[in-house]
Amino acid sequence: MHATTESATAPSFIQQICQPFLRDRLMHLLLVIAIILSIASPQPLAEYRNWVDWNTIATLAGMLLLTKGIEVSGYLEHLGRTIINRLQQERLLAIFLVSASALLSTVLTNDIALFIMVPLTVGLGGISGLPIGRLVIFEALAVNAGSMLTPIGNPQNILLWQRSHLSFASFTWQMAPLALAIFLLLLLATWFCFPRQTIHAELEDNPASYRAGLLRTCGLLYLAFVASVELGHPGWGLLGVAAAALLFCREIIAKVDWSLILVFILMFIDIRLLTQLHVIQDWVAAIPHFSQLELFMTALLGSQIISNVPATILLVNYSEAYKVIAYGVNAGGFGLAIGSLANIIALRMAPERHLWLRFHLYSFPFLGISALIAWLLLA
């Protein structure tokens, strides 16, 4: 009788897919903005689809499927628990969590890295005196630093990669000096902000719960998908990944937050509608004539106002100085929490409810130093 009740109340496959669309307040806000802007500046509906960079959307959708599969495999969490349980010092624990967050964000995107690392960190809450909130803050900084390295580390890099037509290796090489400098700076800050006091972590682990086969399958598909994007066929790559998910692990499709795809589609539409308004048309028309410093500062400060993904969408439509934009919007992920959606995700997952002010005490210095390093590397 109990099993029957559970099966009756469990959400169906379609319900699981639809649930994120009902909960996503950012998507709702962007939809409302699109409606208001459409009324203020009417455009033919047929034009809307032309404003969206569908190669970027296909790349993002494929990455969401693959990274969700790796997350569902549970293997990375198992590996993380095993390492954490062997660490005997708060400073070493912090360095591991920061390094792991940065490394995962280079290949799994910044938000997926947080979905793996933050729950692991929160699970350490039973250790007396361990600063969970500060650890989560540093993990948010770490995924911003790590994700800027590769073209698949974050959404703005995916878009810039598609527009610049650079190879995976060339894009990574272009971002490496900035990413490495900021990561080393973050490690130095971690060393000084966490003491050497002894701890004894004991996270429960069930080896039977992780699925090595799923991890291997997703790993192989990951390489094939990146190759398809590299060759300029992200749509075919997405089709192959989706077909494999349907055949081998249908649950992944239901667990992906598909509302995120609609969020990015709406960002493309909202930004384009915004640029149609007469109030800002003169400013937008000047973007192609910006000096390198003006473009960099627009990317940096624009990220602080509208977040780094919308700032990227706006600027790539009017400038082909993709490296300058990449350095500006990635450095702009620090500072205000709105600078990067990853910051908001981390702070919302943290158990402490008054972490926002403390986050900015760390993030603003990183914004200033990252901006300086980025500009010196560009100059």
30-71 confidence digits (pLDDT tens): 999 999 999 888 888 888 989 999 999 999 999 989 988 888
Look at residue 24 in the predicted model and tell me its pLDDT. 80
Enter the tokens of residue 326: 């990449």
Q: Is residue 7 part of a domain?
A: no
The more confidently predicted of residues 190 and 129 is 190
What values do phi and psi take at 89, rounded to 5? Answer: -140, 135
pLDDT at 7 over 50: no
C-alpha distances (whole Å) from 357 to each of 83, 142, 237 are 31, 18, 42
The whole-angstrom separation of Cα 84 and Cα 119 is 13
Angle between helices 212-230 and 54-73 (to 10 degrees): 160
Residue 6 binned pLDDT confidence (cut-offs 50, 70, 90): very low
pLDDT at 184 over 90: yes
Q: Is residue 183 part of a domain?
A: yes
Show Cβ contacts of residue 182 under 8 Å, excluding neighbours closer than 6 positions: 145, 148, 331, 366, 369, 370, 373
Residue 291 binned pLDDT confidence (cut-offs 50, 70, 90): very high
What values do phi and psi take at 149, rounded to 5? Answer: -70, -45
Q: Read off the pLDDT of residues 121-161 as tens digits, 9 standing for 90 and up.
A: 988 877 767 889 999 999 999 999 999 999 999 999 999 99
The whole-angstrom separation of Cα 135 and Cα 147 is 18
pLDDT at 2 over 70: no
Look at residue 330 in the predicted model and tell me its pLDDT. 97
Cβ atoms 352, 133 nearer than 8 A = yes
The more confidently predicted of residues 309 and 86 is 309
Q: What is the mean pLDDT of residues 267-288?
A: 87
Q: Is residue 5 part of a domain?
A: no
Enter the tokens of residue 42: 């009417």
Show Cβ contacts of residue 206 under 8 Å, excluding neighbours closer than 6 positions: none
Q: Is residue 368 part of a domain?
A: yes
Question: What is the CB-side half-sphere exposure of residue 128 using CA atoms within 13 A?
Answer: 1
Closest of 102, 186, 94 to residue 134, by C-alpha: 94
Look at residue 379 in the predicted model and tell me its pLDDT. 84
The sign one gets for the Cα dihedral 177, 183, 185, 187 is negative
Q: What is the mean pLDDT of residues 348-376?
A: 92
Q: Is residue 90 part of a domain?
A: yes
Q: First vs last Cα of the chain: how many Å apart?
A: 70
Instruction: Write down the residue that tokens 């703005």 correspond to.
Output: 156
Q: Is residue 2 part of a domain?
A: no
The whole-angstrom separation of Cα 245 and Cα 252 is 7
Mean of the per-residue pLDDT values of the chain: 89
The tally of domains found in the chain comes to 1
Q: Domain range for residue 337?
A: 16-378
Q: Is residue 3 part of a domain?
A: no
Q: Is residue 11 part of a domain?
A: no
Closest of 341, 345, 374, 347 to residue 360, by C-alpha: 347
Residue 10 binned pLDDT confidence (cut-offs 50, 70, 90): low
